[in-house]
Structure 1
Amino acid sequence: MSQEIQAYESENGSDAEPEATRRTAGDTESSRASRGWWDRNADEYQTDHGAFLGDDRFVWGPEGLDEADVRLLGPAGSLAGLDVLEIGAGAAQCSRWLAAQGARPVALDLSHRQLQHALRIDGGAFPLIEADAGALPFQDGSFDLACSAYGAVPFVADPVKVFREVRRVLRPGGRWVFSVTHPIRWAFPDEPGPEGLSVAASYFDRTPYVEQDENGDAVYVEHHRTLGDRVRDVVAGGFRLEDLVEPEWPAWNAQEWGGWSPLRGNLIPGTAIFVCVRD
């Protein structure tokens, strides 16, 4: 049984598992489901993954690719004094790393409970904002950089809306770097073992993955876009795609995280990181 289903049952005092299905889900339903899911699961998520993420590391995904090594946001020393927006910040581990580089981060998340974990770790060393990524509460040109490590983008019905908001709050020349589940993973079962190595669905099926309760209301929503879709969304959002990074699984990483594992990671990519520029 998945962790999200277990948490849902605990929260609702029910033995009924949410029904997993593929169906349409719009902006409002997706946003409501994401807020509820992350509020319910924040404690368990931080318990299970907090040691791997650290309190002040910038990790791009389950592979463990570290911003301190790859510098997708900019060369060493270049972040000092910059205003940086982290979207889908969770407990703000990435923002904490940015602050240590001399940047001025703002951590934004839809989930109140996730931001409470950010306060637990450092008491609020920088601004924490509870808001939807599709309606950023900032003035035009407020930031030099924006970033998101698996935050918001996989869970929104209209990523172009989010990208246009990010472009609006960035200054000219600003960089927008975000990571998502690699689109090829949608063709395979979300399993870390051998059963996750056989194609089980069409890569081209964009129907969202939805877990819904007995009333048919979504309690978890994730949206699939093909690699080409993601590139077109970036362009439609007003950005130039500078790089697309597909991290290889490192030899040191022996952990399993959901459907991510050394077995699968050595054969197919699990994460896609898009490095975009606002000209």
Structure 2
Amino acid sequence: DQARAVLNLPASGGPFAKLPNPLKTNPKVGLYRPFTSSMDEGWTRLVFDNNQIPYKSISNEDFRQNRFVDLDVIVLAADNENTIVRGLSAERYPAEFAGGIGDTGVENLKKFVENGGKLVCFDDSCELAIKRFNLPVGNVLAGLKRNEFYNPGSVVKLTVDTKHEVARGMPEQIPAYFTSSSAFEITGAERQNVDVIARYAEKDALLSGWMLGEKLINGKPALIDVTYGKGKIVMFAFRPQHRGQSWATFQLIFNSLER
């Protein structure tokens, strides 16, 4: 303050100043907000709020009643299939908080994408897309024991296809945060519907931290774009907004929201 007064410098925004909205278009974004107190959904809201990205929270009932047809994009934070679909137990919680989006909500979500909507999945929520949308995609790490693969939180290196629209403005290599995350494999006859946007590095994917079984993720897809009907499903095998701190991958989120 003393230096600013001596130099006659005007006051400006501090470290908590909001950033300008980075989106080029004006998509109508919906973010699923479960009653399970999802920490990852909260971090996603923080990133959206700090970057002044307009969005609306979507509840279980909104999914069950199909109250999101006016949206362009739906975002699922890193919650697994069971958490999203089944939610809280009706035996332990009041009726207004029990359950998840249910099978009806899943079907409504599938129709949303089939009709031209976009679904963006972070890490664990990709399980729902893989299983319920019958995609030609698998997770090579699913079901592995801790003595086969284990990583509680490290920085990994991605190689990026900068020609893809989701990678617009990105360098060819970037760091990403990996915490018990996923690694994709493309399978099935409809693999032509899958574009690989980024992969874990072919060699030495681990940049910082430690990992047991690193070879299992080397060269595997980490970010993909799947055509589903008239719509798209963008699937992050990792958490690109991890605790609001993984700035190197924020732009991938913003690009994935664009219309």
Q: Structure 2-normalised TM-score?
A: 0.37
Structure with bigger gyration radius: 2
**Between structures 1 and 2, the one with greater helix share:** 1
Q: Structure 1-normalised TM-score?
A: 0.35
